[in-house]
Amino acid sequence: MRVVGQETAVREMSIVLSKKLGRLSAGNVLMVGSSGSGKTTLMRAVEDYLAETTSTEERPILVRLHANVLAEDAIGGRPGQTVLWRLLEAARELRGPQVPVTDLLRQIEEGLVFVDEVDKIRGRIEGIPQIAGIRAQEALLTLIENERTAIELPEWAGGGRAMLDTARLLFVCAGAFEGLYDAVHDRVTIGEDRGALREVAVVDGDDIRQEAHFRLHEWLRQQDLFDYGMTPQFLSRFESIILLEPLSVDELVKIFLSRPEIGLEQARAYFAQHGINLAVSPAAVRRIAKVAAEQPRVGARALSEVFRRVMRTYEFEPDRWATDDGTLVIDQAEIDKALE
């Protein structure tokens, strides 16, 4: 799997998937984790995993959509329809146009729906009701609960309406819930539960300091998510709420070296075009990961940003920087100089 770290989330997702594949009932999952911690990456990894390990006949139909789509639908007076349309399209794509629509409809009743950026359908922001968000949550709830939901069939499926039992659909929702961390931290330090977060002695060499270690998963309650704007009815439909952890420097190193979208491969290709072999030393990679880890709230995305900042210096007139044998070595010193 291409997800680095996040063991709890990966494990939980594997369990849910194996239940789904074994046709057992599986509870809906809500993932909460700061931006760039791997939520969308995990969803994509599940899609790839299913594509690689299951035959098209037994693969559950899966769609991934942005929560805003639910809000648009709800406002447009067709709550939940896009989810069903996407499922139906995905089923046709997977099984082929010759498969009868009734078969496709039966198959999507067992489908998987990934709703990304679910924190964008808050029902309340700072006490002010958000109609679109409330409606979107209600629409999702209807799909989760209803044994009979109408789908308006698209033209290719013959038009008209059909009834679907959506009660067995599996929902995996994810969101960064920006501001939730601070809200819970405030609650246990200066708010209603002040004093709850105790300081512990930390030994650092000869030094002993008192520090309060706040970890969201130790303190998050359902109430915090209600306060954030997710309705109790909505939340009660999730069997597990999984928190993704902030990525450690070691994990960021791994991501930097293994994920092509971060930019190392592209940079190598760029220099190779100029006949230069780009080499980034392990110490330099660590340095990049450390700097990235210090950036708040962007997670692994900071890796690309930091690396880009470093490479900018060298990408212009690359020949200037390479040794005679055509190698450009980026070591810790080069990183520090570029980031000055």
Ligand X SMILES: Nc1ncnc2c1ncn2[C@@H]1O[C@H](COP(=O)(O)OP(=O)(O)OP(=O)(O)O)[C@@H](O)[C@H]1O
Contacting residues toward ligand X, per CB under 6 A = 3-6, 33, 35-41, 176, 255, 259, 261-262, 299-301
> Which of 270, 262, 334 minimizes the C-alpha distance to 292?
262
Nearer to Mg ion, 39 or 187 (CB): 39
CB 72 to Mg ion: min, Å? 19
CB 115 to Mg ion: min, Å? 11
Contacts of 207 (CB under 8 A, 6+ apart): none
CA separation for the pair 19, 13 (Å, rounded): 10
Stretch that binds Mg ion, among 31-39, 196-204, 225-233, 286-294 (CB under 5 A): 31-39
Instruction: Judge whether 65 and 83 are in contact, CB under 8 Å.
Output: yes
* Alpha carbon 33 to chain centroid, angstroms: 8
Residue 246 Cα distances to 214, 240, 242, 304, angstroms: 12, 19, 13, 17
Task: Check binding of 40 to Mg ion (CB under 5 A).
Answer: yes
* Contact of residue 8 among Mg ion, ligand X, none (CB under 5-8 Å per partner type): none
Beta bridge partners of 152: 161
Task: Check binding of 189 to Mg ion (CB under 5 A).
Answer: no
Nearer to ligand X, 41 or 149 (CB): 41
Task: Check binding of 68 to Mg ion (CB under 5 A).
Answer: no
CB 281 to ligand X: min, Å? 21
* Alpha carbon 185 to chain centroid, angstroms: 22
> Which of 31, 28, 40, 59 minimizes the C-alpha distance to 2?
40
CB atoms closer than 10 angstroms to residue 174: 27
Stretch that binds Mg ion, among 33-41, 47-55, 144-152, 330-338 (CB under 5 A): 33-41
Nearer to ligand X, 3 or 17 (CB): 3
CB 29 to ligand X: min, Å? 14
Q: Which residues bind Mg ion (CB under 5 A)?
A: 39-40
